[in-house]
Structures are given as structure tokens and as C-alpha cells.
Amino acid sequence: MIGPDTVLAGRYRLIEQIDSGGSAYIYKAMDELTKQIVAVKILKPELTENEEFVQRFKKEVQAAAKLRHANIIRAYDAGLDNGTYYIVMDLIEGKTLKHLINVNGPLPVKYAVAVAKKLCLALEYAHVKGFVHRDIKPHNVMIDMTGEPYIADFGIARNIAQNTITAEEGSVMGSVHYFSPEQARGERVDKRSDIYSLGILLYEMVTGKVPFDADTSVAIALKHINDPMPDAKESAPSLPESINKIIQKATQKDKHFRYKSAFNMYEDLQRCLSEPDGEYVKYSESKRTQQHIEEAHAKRSKKSVKRLVLVFGVAAVVVFAIIAVVSAVINFNVERPVPLPDFVGMTEKNAVEAAQKVTSMPTVTYENSSEAEKGVVIRQDPEAGMDFKKDDPLTLVVSNGSGSDIMPDVTNMDRAQAEKILRENGIEWDQIVEDTTGDAPIGYVIEQHPAAGESVSRSGSVWLTVKASPDIQKISMPNIQSMTLPDALNVLKLRDLSLFFIYEKDSDEEENTVISQKPAENTEISTNSSVELTVPASSGRRYKVSKPINLTIPKDGTSLRIGIPGNVDGVSVYYIIYGAVVEAGDQAIEPTGTIVIDSDEDVAQKDLAIFLNDVQVKTETVEFVRG
């Protein structure tokens, strides 16, 4: 029986239940290893019996752990203990945004804007990482004691929405108030659905109520689809017109007319208080949407109502019966498949135009080909003649001719455009690096390697540096000197650091003891920073690199490190044998450091990792000789 004093995974001691929802119980708990207070979400037993849900849940937990943002609640551990699935998260001491609105009514405009801006940046970060929340609502936004907002349930809401339909009407309505029209219709969603939900949330913050309400979830869903978005100034006459316009743009019925990104919405919110007339906020409804709204009530049919009833559930029907019925109804309403046309041999332009008649968004990729002219479709997936539905994925592979070895200039453009140009030139990139410094728009390429006009093959690797949101998690560097190396690494990993460079030096200190650290204690660093640890040189047969390593350095002042990948109690590290700040150009680097290799031979081979400005640009196997 799960309850206070239960210990999960031999580590997390439950203290008290602090919340519960349709899918889980939330406990305050003590992490016995780190002595930190955490929150533990425990899935209700009925959800653990659905194997498909469990498998998706595991994958989503792994994905959620990758999100590291100051305004996203971190899920950093999960597991199964004696039949109980649990997730360990940061504990936020505070209340939900929904609670604040229920207690206070409309929130102060300046505070509502400040919250919305931070949520925009958090969503932008997640969207760039490839995640869509799908359940943005004030119930999933925690507010701590200082007023700081945090998005909860990232990566998990999608599973719950896709794989369960609760029979509790209240639970359904809790989400349906914030559903986008495409969610209400049961269609696929993307980041623009999160933007719609954020617009609804902003409306509720400034007016104290949701824009659409009714007695049933079906009726609310129909309003999201058919009814015009209310004017927020009707409920809050003193509200700046700029905020009203931002809400209207975010909540357009047609997602193509909403903000194209959460960061675009953030940019408008930055100006809304200083430019209250909102003349800078530009948006328009599509003709199709306008006509749909005007004729919506006349065109409602029993069939569409029936479908929505089935999609959102009826309280009297058990969960699994609803899932089966919804699946059948969706399958019934989906367009019947048609044979896919043959696009091979068409030019890219003609193929895309033809493909858009059968699918809304074909994917185009590029391959070098000596047999087909550049710009001609050489392959498609699925193949011609296969049964195809409008929402099925379609990939067109376009010839890039013989390809190019010259690096184009892809700086000062958004990442998607830069990647498209590289694909069109038959160039594959090795790594995308995020950098929070500078004034470039988020998502834009601010640096590239190799430089424009340089040879790709001679450079050995291709990487782009992309501007990331500045609101990444930061920590204060702890004091780990005099700790054993395994203990020091464990402390750093618990603070979300992951890039560790190990240096060796002659010392009388005990082997594997941390002699020095960089950064120093109490230095504030971001969690994507590197950490240098110096330990006494280990005993054993030492080897050095047998010949120089040829590298192309992109610019003066580049930090170069060369190291051997290693592992310390499950933590990845790099033992550095060369480190220096180097000048631009072709360099023949001769690492002078040595490393202990467990071998009886005079010659051994090991992998070397090469870092430029703490970015791993290549790995190569080299020969080591006894040094």
C-alpha cells in the first residue's frame, strides 16, 4: 500500500500526499541520497494495466527529462517499484495558476503579461527541442512563492490525451476549455495548438474567466470550432487593445493565421504595455474560417455532434468502451485511401505542387546522384500506387546532382532554412550547438563550421551554432575539491551538468582525488557548461599519440581540447591530453600529454574526441605508442 513513509527505489521516502488528479497522486518526498525535498507523481493503478500506455509513458518520461528550462518543472527520474510507476520531479512550493485566478479573479495586467512572456519562452524552448505540450492550461502552470511560473506535465499530457478518455465529466471539461479547434476535431496538433491554448490562458488571466463555457464538454468543443473568440475588452474594459489583439491572433480558428512561433508571441508581448494601441499586432482571418464561423450553426449535423460526443466521452460509459467507439468513429470519418500518384521524374516544384493535392505537407529531402539531374525527384516513400490518406506522411527524395564540397553561408537565417540549404547542397551536418549569448533571434544560426566558401571534406565535420533561449537553467558551482572523482561527478550530475574534462598532474594526493576544479566554487554557470577537474596522475603504462593530428580551425581564439573518452562509475568523461587556445587555419597538432592504457603492446589504438569551444566536432581512431 502506497502512503507516507513508503520508500520507492530505495531512495524516495514519501512524506505526504499534496495533490491528486485524474491520472496520478502527487506526494512530497525526501530524496534520501541527496537529502533534497522532491515531488513524486505516482500513477493510479488502473493506468498501469494498459501496456500500450505504460510503454508510451516510459518513452515520454525519457523525453521530458531532456527539457532543461528555468520555467519548466524538471522530471529527472522515473521507474517501476513493486508494480508502482512513479516520476520524480522538482517540488514547487506554491499554487497552480488556476487557483490564483479562482481566488483573485482577473490578475493584474502587468503580472499576467510577465507570466505569459515566460511561458512563451518556455514553450519556444520546448518547441525548438521538438516537444509539443498539448495540454497548456492554468491547472498545469505552478506559481511559486515569488510569483515565478512553471509549466508542469511536459511530455506526459500527450500520452494521457491520446490513450485515455476519462469517464469523469469534470476531468474532461478541465482540458476542453483550452483545446484548440484542431484538437476538438480530433486532428493532429503541432506547436500552434500550444499557442492557441496559451492565448486562452492569457484571456482567462486578464478577464478571470474562460472564453467558452457550457454545460457539457461537447458544447464547449463546438464553441472552440464554431464561435468567434470573445473580445477580452468586453469583460475587462481597461485592458490595453494590444493585449486584446495578441489574444485574438493567438486564438485564430485556422492555425495558419496564428503566431508562427511562441517567440513571435513573446516579441509582441514585449511591446504590449509600452505600445497599448497594438497597431503593431497584425493578423487576419482566412476567408474559409470567416465563412465557417458565419454558417457554423446552420451546418451542424447530427453526424458531427455524434463524433464530438464520442471523442470527448460520455460520463456513463466506461473508459475502454469509449476508446473503442472513438477509434471506430475516427476511422469511419477519415477520408478513404486513394492510390498515391507517381512523382518520380518530376521536378521538385511540380512534384510538390502535385503532392499538395493529396497531402497538406510533403517532406522533401535531398541526395547526391550522378544519374539524375539536380532538382528531379528520384524516389518517393510510399511508392506510387500505394493506398494513401491525406494525413499520411509523404517523402520526396530530390536529386542534388553530384553534390557540393563548398560550404554555403547559412548564418543569420533560421535553423530550418539553413538545414534546407545544406540538404540542397548534399551536405550533412554533424552537430547543432545552442548558444544563449548575443542579440540574434532565437532559432537563428549565429556561427557555422566550416566557414562559407571552405571545403567541407577538408574540414572533417559540419556544425552550426544556433541562438537558444537565454532562460536556460543555471546553477551555483559546488565545492568538490578533495572529493573522490566518482563522488564529485555524482554531485555534478545531480545538478544537471554533463560535460566533464579530466586533467592529470603529478601530485602526492591520493589517487582519484579532485585536486582542483574549474569553475570555482559559487560561480554561477549554465547547465550546458563544461567542468574541468584535475586529479593525480594514475600509475601504469603511459602512451602518447604517435603522430600529429591535422585540423582546420575556423577562427582565431578558438579553444581546442583533445581527449580520450572514458567512463567513471557510469558517468562519461574525457581525459584531456591537449588543451590550448589556437589560431585560425590548418593546424598540425602534436598532443604532448600521456594516458594510461591497459595494454602489454608497444602500440595501441584509441578513440580521440576533438572539441572546439567545448563542442565535440569529430572523433577519430589514432595510434598511440609507449611514451
Q: Is 31 a catalytic residue?
A: no
Q: At what angle do helices 217-226 and 169-176 cross, to 10 degrees?
A: 20
H or E segment and range at residue 107: none
DSSP strand E in 462-541: where?
463-467, 474-476, 499-505, 516-518, 524-526, 530-536
Pairing of strands 463-467, 431-435: parallel
The Cα 135–Cα 175 span in angstroms is: 7
The Cα 362–Cα 239 span in angstroms is: 42
Q: Measuring CA to CA, how many Å separate 502 from each of 488, 573, 621?
A: 12, 7, 20
Q: Which residue in the list 77, 81, 135, 586 is annotated as catalytic?
A: 135
The Cα 550–Cα 193 span in angstroms is: 49
Pairing of strands 24-31, 12-20: antiparallel
Q: Is 281 exposed, middle or buried (0-12, 13-18, 19+ CB in 10 A)?
A: buried
The Cα 53–Cα 69 span in angstroms is: 26
Q: Give the max Cα distance, the chain.
A: 87
DSSP, residue by residue, 560-587: EEEEEEEEETTEEEEEEEEEEEE-SEEE
8 A C-beta contact, residue 303 and residue 482 = no
Q: Could you say which DSSP state residue 340 is in?
A: P
Q: Annotated catalytic sites, by residue?
A: 135
